[in-house]
Structure 1
Amino acid sequence: MQQFTIIRLGHQGDGIAEGPVFAPRTLPGEVVSGQLDGKVLTDIRIDMPSDDRVKPPCPHYKSCGGCALQHASDAFVADFKVGVVRQALDAQGIAADIRGIHTSPPRSRRRATLAARRTKKGVLVGFHARASDTITEIPECHLLTPDLLAARPAIADLAMAGASRKGAMAVTVTQSDQGLDLLVRGGKPLDGPLQITLAAIADRHDLARLTWEDEVIVTRRNPEQTFGAARVTPPPGAFLQATQDSEARLLSAVKEATQGASRIIDLFAGCGTFALPLAQTAEVHAVEGDRAMTAALDKGWRHATGLKRVTVEARDLFRNPIIAEDLAGFDAAVIDPPRAGAETQTEQLAAAQIPRIAFVSCNPVTFARDAKTLIAAGYCLDWVQVVDQFRWSAHVELAASFTLSHMALNEE
């Protein structure tokens, strides 16, 4: 056994000692012992715990890989995540008003991907253990909504009918207004008999929709999501904010950042998370790379009442960003890119000099890079709101407001 003192947490939530040595589920200031395997400490014993160490509330914490920070107090996790954002901005030389953090409550995840595997004795359904193919069952998970937990028997039946002994299935479960929406990947090839069996399972467990790979087996009820005044049926597996609570906080920030705008462009719009609520007060042009998602957004708008005009465009904004000339006429933009950020599209936004920009990000590092581009073009970073949507993980999200410098001066 070797002993180490933890100096800090890395961005993945692991404790880091001199070396560097990575020690999972440890906290700064702790003295720990363990077996060194390369740069990773295993069989860890806490010799001197931190005052921020707490008893993990979930009984599955030690074996499940779904959470990384349940051993830390809520106050510590909040400070850590705000610190991650601040460090990313500092690295780009950016000073910002960080408003603090909004954390989603326990048992609020409405979308998750569970693993399912057939065994000699039956079926395992749960999350993978950390860095392992081992599946940990999670009957008392503190992350998922009760409805998602209730999907476990249905997933077990699906695995018994359609899983291969050679590997685990990945089952994405989404809670909709009409019930559970399941997308299964990694199962047996679909044939006629299996399709009949799967449809019977969907009926027995009252699933709203069941999709096997790219084939919709049955839609018993359209699995709708509510975005403002619109109801949208996303395509199977489509992106959705993980919790309704954090979606509401992000939307509130986006509305504040675009307040007063009459014509808004929404980049990486998904199925309309922001575009459709914003259409209550402004015309919106929504751009998204996935054509099925833009079709769902458009249908949701057409069946809603009381909304201003929404137009949609299916476009790969990485390969074909909207150029500055085509952004003319919009008085606000919303951008919510994937983790890689949107470097080229941000450059075009900066050149277009759109007065207001609401920036939503799931990666503080790429956000800070793109923020530097906007600031260099004359924008002020008004504020940053940190959002902890993935509770007890190291994942950090944020929303931010940018306004052109001359506009900010006029408002003062």
Structure 2
Amino acid sequence: MTHTIERLGHLGDGIAPGPVYAARTLPGEVIEGEVAKGRIAAPRILTPSPERVAPPCRHYGACGGCALQHASDAFVAGWKREVVQTALAAQGIEAEVGAPLTSTRNSRRRATLSGRRTKKGTLVGFHGRASGTITEIPGCTLLHPDLLAGLPACHALTLAGASRKGEMALTLTRSDTGLDVAVTGGKPLDAQMRMELAQIAGQHDLARLSWEGELIAGARPPVQGFGVARVAPPPGAFLQATAEGQAALTDAVRRMVGPAKTVIDLFAGSGTFALPLAESAEVHAVEGDRAMLDALDRGWRTATGLKSVTTEPRDLFRRPLLPDELSRFAAAVIDPPRAGAEAQVQELARAAVPTIAAVSCNPVTFARDARILLAAGYTLGPVTVVDQFRWSPHVELVAAFRLAHMPQR
């Protein structure tokens, strides 16, 4: 029996009537294959889409790190734009949505790889699609070359620190001073292992190595640039996936905040937006992770030419800032996790903060929260789509909300 793909789902799978799901297929394609639990695991393409291309990465067939390398860049960009438009339309919102700003190949500066010991040695790479099998990725077209250069270090760490029955997670982050590696899921530390791991870090010139959050070796602070400030985030801390993506989001936020002299940055992380904004405004940064705030504060104190930056550790899901705390700010920046920030957005609306620059990694929760602001009298400006996660179904965006009659602050 044949099936015709009508559209892509939110994970990038093709969907045929039924519904029947088929990975790595495109709208308009006619396919066949055995259906099990509503899914064709290995579809055969009978009629390919004109948007189908040869995957640029030789690992694509086995690796689950990318989902859309079989589609043309133009198709993926159009689909991601449509994802945002569909999410907004579901909330009754019309907005101008621009074409995505897509990061270049081999630009991912942060990734989490899996490592496992085997009888013959080690495996390090990404899992296969919906599989526990690890695929090695020496020719990956997604990761920055500096991350790929760190693969030998990952193999050495896996050999030294992985159990035969378990699997380690190795988070690699490219910094201005070298590779930052944070490991979880490894064997418990003892004195001998600490020495061995520190030797590996030195042999491979790692800027920093941490194990289950404990610092093992720190040859140099793994510095990231946030505007003129230099920050060393804590091990495994959130960081925008590409330098290009960070620059695009930061430029957009700066334009949206404009001449505001007092800004509150909610879910501030280690200062991605707070520190660049402090070049022209006083900023209050609020974040639930104290270690990230401490890194932000150190970056501010060692930078020159920045205005005042204050910090506040606070769980904004359990205890959002209230209108009396927000009303003194001329602008707000908010960059929540995928769940969005419904409770905090409600308080922003009540406080009537004149300008809100909203960054989101989930168009669905962004649209839900946007409806709250629109109902409170805000207008929504053009939506900028930023595609840092090339060849994945992941979509990020940034947009400004403004009150029609802004109070002077």
Q: Does TM, scored on the shorter chain, surpass 0.5? A: yes
2:115 maps to 116
2:259 maps to 260
1:368 maps to 367
Runs of 4+ residues over 3 Å off in structure 1: none
1:406 CA drift (Å): 2.4
1:50 maps to 49
Q: Which amino acid aligns with 1:296?
A: A
RMSD: 1.0
1:43 CA drift (Å): 2.1
- Structure 1 length-normalised TM: 0.98
For residues 114-147 of structure 1, the C-alpha deviation after alignment (integer angstroms, 9 at most, x for no partner) is 0111111111111000111100000100000000
Q: Helix, strand or coil: the match of 2:115?
A: strand
Structure 2 distance, partners of 1:382, 1:114, is 38
1:35 maps to 34
Identity of aligned residues (%): 64
Structure 1 distance, partners of 2:81, 2:221, is 38
1:188 maps to 187
1:78 maps to 77
1:235 maps to 234
2:67 maps to 68
2:213 maps to 214
Structure 2 distance, partners of 1:290, 1:379, is 30
1:294 maps to 293
1:90 maps to 89
Contact 2:324/2:351 (CA < 8 Å) preserved in 1?
A: yes
Structure 2 distance, partners of 1:138, 1:343, is 39
Structure 2 distance, partners of 1:89, 1:25, is 26
1:328 CA drift (Å): 1.3
2:352 maps to 353
Structure 2 distance, partners of 1:349, 1:191, is 49
2:161 maps to 162
1:382 CA drift (Å): 1.1
Contact 2:81/2:98 (CA < 8 Å) preserved in 1?
A: no
Q: Helix, strand or coil: the match of 1:53?
A: coil
Structure 2 distance, partners of 1:42, 1:258, is 47
- Structure 2 length-normalised TM: 0.99
Contact 2:127/2:133 (CA < 8 Å) preserved in 1?
A: yes
Structure 1 distance, partners of 2:155, 2:305, is 43
Contact 2:157/2:197 (CA < 8 Å) preserved in 1?
A: yes
For residues 390-409 of structure 1, the C-alpha deviation after alignment (integer angstroms, 9 at most, x for no partner) is 0000000000011102249x
Structure 2 distance, partners of 1:349, 1:143, is 37
2:397 maps to 398
Q: Which amino acid aligns with 2:244?
A: D
For residues 220-272 of structure 1, the C-alpha deviation after alignment (integer angstroms, 9 at most, x for no partner) is 10111110111111000000000000110001110111001000000000000
For residues 50-91 of structure 1, the C-alpha deviation after alignment (integer angstroms, 9 at most, x for no partner) is 000000000000100000000000010001000000000000
For residues 139-163 of structure 1, the C-alpha deviation after alignment (integer angstroms, 9 at most, x for no partner) is 1000000000011000000011110
Contact 2:182/2:212 (CA < 8 Å) preserved in 1?
A: yes
1:101 CA drift (Å): 1.1
Structure 1 distance, partners of 2:232, 2:3, is 52
Matching of residues 125-204 of structure 1 within 5 Å? 125-204=124-203
1:99 CA drift (Å): 2.1
Q: Helix, strand or coil: the match of 1:54?
A: coil
Structure 1 distance, partners of 2:286, 2:42, is 49
Q: Helix, strand or coil: the match of 2:99?
A: strand
Structure 1 distance, partners of 2:114, 2:321, is 38
Is the aligned partner of 1:327 residue 2:326?
yes
Q: Gaps (5+ residues) in structure 1?
A: none
Is the aligned partner of 1:7 residue 2:23?
no
